[in-house]
Each structure stands twice: as structure tokens, then as C-alpha cells.
Amino acid sequence: MTNLPRITNKRDFLAGLMFTTVGVAALAIASTYRMGTPVRMGPGFFPIVLTGLLVLLGVAIMASAVRSGEVASPRLVWRPLVVVTGVVALFAFLINTAGLALTTLIVLVASRLARPGYPWMETLALAVATTIVTALVFHYGLGLQLPLWPTLG
């Protein structure tokens, strides 16, 4: 019988496995795109680099879970799962009609419901600051073809 390492932190191991699985799937999709070079990046350059890092992160998390002395049993917490999934759907529903700025603000405030206990003023300050940075970077800096404000009609 072989002496295999024991997975002592199941929560971290499953999180690492999820990162690795999503990363490998995204790498498979991104590998069909032209890579390019660091100077002239193709459409596949950023996704391949990013998902490669995601796979490495997943493997590192799984390795730390095997070495960890902590014994943790994974427990599914429904509230964040439902709220974050709903917020992603809300973003998709609002972005074309409410505009980038208002959608960002609404989504950030709504995502606060995933984990109660944070002060509302802190949430609003973070939402306003993030909305401003999002508008500056994506609308003005990168010139994304998304409306910044709600479209009427």
C-alpha cells in the first residue's frame, strides 16, 4: 500500500480544483484564438496568460490543502451564491439600458446583500468610487461602446 498525502483541508482543495477546472476549460477555448506576441498581442494573448495564472493558482491552493494540518469540511453557504448569481444576471439585464455608470452603482450596492454586516455608508462610498473608476477606464480610457448613462426610449 502506498503512503499518499492526505487532503486535510477539503474546502481549499475543492476551491483549488474549481480554479484549475475553470482555468483548463478557458485555456481550451482560448487556445483557438491567435496568440500574437507581447508587443502585438492577438485576441488569445490575454485570456491564455490569465487562465494560465488561474490554473497555477488552483494547483497551488490544492497543494497547500494537502499540506495543511487544518481539518475543514466544506459547507455550502447559499446566500452569497444566490446573491452573486443574481447580481451577474442583473448586470446583464441592465447594462444596455441603464448604462455603465448606473449599472455599476446598482450592482455594487446589490452585491452587499451577499454578506451582511458592512456599513451602508462604506458600501455607498466604495460603489461611487468604483463607478467613477469604471467610467474613466472603460468608457473614456478604452472607449468601450457601452452607453455611460441610461438611454431613454
Q: Is residue 151 situated within a structural domain?
A: no
Measure the CA dihedral 29/33/36/42, to 10°.
Answer: -100
pLDDT for 98-123, tens place per residue?
999 999 999 999 998 888 888 889 99
Expressed as residue numbers, the domain containing 114 is 78-141
Residue 59, C-beta contacts closer than 8 angstroms, at least 6 positions apart: 16, 20
Q: What is the percentage of the chain residues whose pLDDT exceeds 90? A: 44
Domain count, the chain: 2
Q: Are residues 62 and 82 in the same domain?
A: no
* pLDDT (average), residues 7-20: 86
pTM: predicted TM-score of the whole model, two decimal places: 0.56
Whether the predicted pLDDT of 26 surpasses 60: yes
CA distance 72 to 65: 10
Residue 127 domain-assigned? yes
Give domain status of residue 137, yes or no: yes
Q: Identify whether 3 is part of a domain.
A: no
Looking at the fold, whether 82 and 50 belong to one and the same domain comes out as: no
